[in-house]
Structure 1
Amino acid sequence: MEHYVLGSLLFTLLLGLLLFRKMFQSRKLFSDRFGMIVATTYSGVFNFSIGMHLYLLLPDYAEFISCVVVVIGGGSGVIIGSIVKFHSVLAGFFHGTVGALMGMMLGVVVYNPSLCRLPAVNEAMLNQSIIVLSSFISFLTVSTLGLLYYSFKV
């Protein structure tokens, strides 16, 4: 299970870096409105996936992971926002931080469903939930970043 989550995390990082490179190459073509939409969408979805996968990999280090996730989310949001337009830096920061924290919270609920008053799960059901949720979040990330990549061509 850990190998699958790690592979999904690396795939998400690779896809995010490829889209980041494409965004950097065509940064002069953005209008303010399109730049704001790209910064909020990219940083929110990308960091949501990163936050969830990091917590699923290291659930025993929740405090450390939460600090790392906030730094990664805010930093990547600022970088994405500054590439797109200067006005989008703050929006990228907030969406990146919130997306990363929401992803981490989803990972916490997967490991301990009783936090949301859901029925407790056994080990086999936990592994199945992690794999299904990781697959769904990877699909969501691929489809969202694919649509953003397509929007650069149109």
Structure 2
Amino acid sequence: MLILVLLLWNVGEMVYIYNVFRKKHILFDDRYIKMMCMALSTISSFVIALYLQLLLPLHSITYYLPSFAGLWIGWKFGSFMKAPASLNGLYNGALGGIMGMMFGAVLQNPAICNIPIETEASLASNLMSLVIFCAALHTVVHHFIRNSLTK
């Protein structure tokens, strides 16, 4: 339940910053836009892919959905950049989506990376603490970018 609430929180935050950035991106130069799009697409796709990996059941149909969500996020934020640099947003979105998908898989089963886990309670505790940390990191990055857009 907490993961679903955090997913909705971060999606709402991402949609809000996308709308603000869409209105104000023409006021800034290309390097500034590129840096902001890289940060937004990487962290947003990482966090959204992580939550999707943790929420969706492991099935062959839903297995690649988190990485496709990361690609879509990178494509949307990369569309603010000019033509050759727009692939940078797509790349960062795909990279964040794949990393979020892998991180979610390791959180669900730490034996993939030979991480010893003693009890099921410590696994759940680590999962919740890392999920809350990712949500806080996403919120901080979006807060910094939102504040830099208003100045």
Q: Give the TM-score band, short-chain normalised.
A: over 0.9
Q: TM-score, normalised by structure 1?
A: 0.91
Query: Aligned Cα RMSD in Å?
Result: 1.5
User: Which residue in 1 is equivalent to 2:32?
Assistant: 34
Alignment of 1:82 onto 2:79: yes
In structure 1, distance between residues paired with 2:130 and 2:79: 31
CA change 1:24–1:12 in 2 (3 A) is same
Q: Is the 8 A contact 2:37 2:78 kept in 1?
A: yes
Aligned-partner SS, 1:86 = coil
What is the CA-CA distance between 1:29 and the residue it aligns to? 0.8
Q: Is the 8 A contact 1:43 1:92 kept in 2?
A: yes
Deviations 1:14-52 (A, max 9, x none): 000000010011021121101110111000000000011
What does 1:110-121 align with in structure 2 at a 5 Å threshold? 110-121=107-118
Question: Number of residue pairs matched?
Answer: 151
Q: Which one has the bigger helix percentage?
A: 1
CA change 1:83–1:151 in 2 (3 A) is same
Deviations 1:103-149 (A, max 9, x none): 11111111111111110343222221221111000000000111111
| Structure 2: tracts of 5 or more residues without a match | none
| Structure 1: tracts of 5 or more residues without a match | none
CA change 1:121–1:66 in 2 (3 A) is farther
Share of identical aligned residues, percent? 27
The range that moved more, 138-147 or 118-127, is 118-127
